[in-house]
A and B are shown apart, each in its own frame.
Chain A
């Protein structure tokens, strides 16, 4: 009986340990993935800034994504990083589209 109980406990302990190891491995993988997204967002922000097209909140979003990552909220951090990356790309495209001066048609030059 005692032998059976000991065996059962050892099995349970083994399963738990395996579970914890798997979870921390998964955490590390998720954290690395989110960190990559944050790095990509920051690169996009910098690209927009290089042509004077950075948007107001992009940097703040990246900062917030970093804070969420450190708290382990990977889903929210990843979403925010993706949104920030989009802003970076759009800011760059916008600035490039405005490189050539386009005078408004309501100003009437003769």
Chain B
């Protein structure tokens, strides 16, 4: 009886140990799967994986053609777009932007005093501003220049900033996207990581992330539109959108996308959108700039 009891007790202990073992194993498995999803990756690894995804997804599309957005994967849309590009709707904005660039501020200085290398600036942005400890975007730098010269800053989504950006983008055509994440300032990597997290985070009532539409479902049809691939998204801004009837900034587009998934958008050039631009532009590293663009 005693032995039996001992045996039962052992069985009980064994069972208890087994349970503990299973629990530990389960924890290890869960931890491992968690690590798989949140493993630390370098920006270089992210870039390679991101661009390879599109190579596999659309094997017949040349990497450089992604600068043309959805027209890289939609032959019918491309025909229409090429016809539009014969008389580009953004042309008057380029001319207006050139006038803005050359017209002196009230103090007699011009944008060239802030940007001595001239108007072909787009390839230098977004960049990490170590002094300010933040991602510096081109529109933000332009407004900093205006403020430093006693001028009122321009609005970030609509209006004349688009003309100035159209001119600068046009002058920068052919420059290669080359966003750098300096290794001597860990805040730069953090900004990149924050932008990356924004990109892959679900938001809004529709519970979508940016990646759901422009990575996972790129090329699929949403109502009447073909979802554009994320690769090359940043090369052609500002963009003349037929829907807008004018040229608009990248951050205006971010706002529109967030609204479409029924999330409250952030302010243009807020930290969230600047970091998002930093990550997204980095993902297009190696692609030439071709702004301003024309889209539906």
Q: Which A residues are within 8 Å of any B CB, using their own CB?
A: 49, 52-59, 87, 90, 94-95, 97-98, 100-109
Q: How far is the CA of A107 from the CA of B50 in the complex (A)?
A: 7
B166 to chain A, nearest CB (A): 29
Tell me if A56 and B38 are in contact (CB < 8 A).
no
Task: Mark contacts of B73-107 with chain A using CB atoms, 8 A cut-off: 1 yes-contact digit, 0 otherwise.
Answer: 00000000000000000000000000000000000
User: Which of B10-18, B131-139, B144-152, B258-266 faces chain A?
Assistant: B258-266
Tell me if A107 and B49 are in contact (CB < 8 A).
yes
Tell me if B264 and A54 are in contact (CB < 8 A).
yes
Q: How far is the CA of A108 from the CA of B211 in the complex (A)?
A: 14
Which of chain B's residues has its CB closest to A56's CB?
B262
Whether, in the assembled complex, B53 has its beta carbon less than 8 Å from a beta carbon of chain A, the answer is yes
Tell me if B202 and A94 are in contact (CB < 8 A).
yes
Which residue of A100, A104, A106 contacts B38 across the interface (Cβ within 8 Å)? A100
**B38 CB contacts on chain A under 8 angstroms:** 100-103
Whether, in the assembled complex, B197 has its beta carbon less than 8 Å from a beta carbon of chain A, the answer is yes
Q: Which B residues are within 8 Å of any A CB, using their own CB?
A: 37-39, 41, 45, 49-50, 52-53, 193, 196-197, 200-205, 207, 211, 215-216, 258-259, 262-266, 272
**5 A-B contact pairs sorted by A residue (CB < 8 Å):** A56-B265, A57-B205, A58-B264, A100-B38, A104-B215
Tell me if B203 and A95 are in contact (CB < 8 A).
yes
Tell me if A55 and B262 are in contact (CB < 8 A).
yes
**B215 CB contacts on chain A under 8 angstroms:** 104, 106-107
Q: How far is the CA of A53 from the CA of B272 in the complex (A)?
A: 12
Helix, strand, loop or mixed for chain B's interface? helix
A56-B264, A102-B37, A104-B215 in contact; A109/B45 too (CB < 8 A)?
yes
**B49 CB contacts on chain A under 8 angstroms:** 107-109
Q: How far is the CA of A26 from the CA of B52 in the complex (A)?
A: 66
Q: How far is the CA of A105 from the CA of B45 in the complex (A)?
A: 15
Tell me if A55 and B200 are in contact (CB < 8 A).
no
A106-B216, A107-B53 in contact; A55/B37 too (CB < 8 A)?
no
Tell me if B272 and A52 are in contact (CB < 8 A).
yes
Which of chain B's residues has its CB closest to A49's CB?
B264
Q: How far is the CA of A81 from the CA of B70 in the complex (A)?
A: 41
**A55 CB contacts on chain B under 8 angstroms:** 204-205, 262-264
B227 to chain A, nearest CB (A): 15
Given contacts A56-B204, A57-B262, 11 further A-B contacts (CB under 8 A): A52-B203, A52-B272, A55-B262, A56-B258, A56-B259, A56-B265, A87-B205, A104-B215, A104-B216, A106-B53, A107-B50
Tell me if A104 and B266 are in contact (CB < 8 A).
no
Tell me if B205 and A101 are in contact (CB < 8 A).
no
The 6 A-B residue pairs with the shortest CB-CB distance, nearest first, are A98-B201, A54-B264, A56-B262, A101-B197, A102-B37, A55-B205
